[in-house]
Amino acid sequence: MDTDSHSDEKIIDVLSLKNVAVIGMSKHPSKAAHYVPKYLIDNGYGVTPVNPTADKILNMCCYESVAEIDGPVDIIDVFRPSDQISSIIHDCIKKKPKVIWLQEGIHDSDSEELARKSGIVVIFNRCMLAEHQRLLS
């Protein structure tokens, strides 16, 4: 699977945004959907968990959907399978983030194009933790 065509400079610009909602954040420490957002928190990001199956993760209140989050979100970081991306992207577009970041292995060209047409930067098949470490550590 390919990744998006964003330059390192563009990824650095995106990583300068600090308000991140994480769709599919996990309560299990061994899963990337847990340790990636924890890494982001440890590196100064504000993280909002979105997981309808949990009340709290890392002592933070979980939301059932992005729509329930009060206030703006800069980046929506997605840890869900590619076959669920279409409905997730539609919800994300309504929230009007600056960026939708689809983690490694996640890609849905048609849905990504809808987000781009709404003025949202889309990053796909990349890990925020790996990109942060590669470009900013």
CATH number of the domain residue 47 falls in: 3.40.50.720
CA distance 55 to 107: 28
| Residue 84, domain member (yes or no) | no
**Which domain range does residue 31 map to?**
8-75+92-106+120-136
Is residue 1 predicted with pLDDT exceeding 80? no
The angle, 0 to 180 degrees and rounded to 10, between the axes of the packed helices 128-136 and 32-42 is 40
| Residue 22, domain member (yes or no) | yes
In the chain the first and final C-alpha atoms are separated, in Å, by 26
The pLDDT of residue 107 is 93
| Residue 82, domain member (yes or no) | no
H-assigned helices in 26-84: 32-42
| Residue 52, domain member (yes or no) | yes
For residue 122, give the amino acid letter. Answer: V
What pLDDT digit, counting tens, does each position of 92-137 carry? Answer: 999 999 999 999 999 999 999 999 999 999 999 999 999 999 999 8
- Give how many domains the chain has, as a whole number: 1
| Residue 2, domain member (yes or no) | no
Question: Taking the model in full, what pTM does it have?
Answer: 0.96
| Residue 48, domain member (yes or no) | yes
| Residue 85, domain member (yes or no) | no
The pLDDT of residue 15 is 98
What pLDDT digit, counting tens, does each position of 21-76 carry? Answer: 999 999 999 999 999 999 999 999 999 999 999 999 999 999 999 999 998 999 99
What pLDDT digit, counting tens, does each position of 85-94 carry? Answer: 999 999 999 9
| Residue 41, domain member (yes or no) | yes
The pLDDT of residue 77 is 98
Tokens 């060209």 sit at which residue? 109
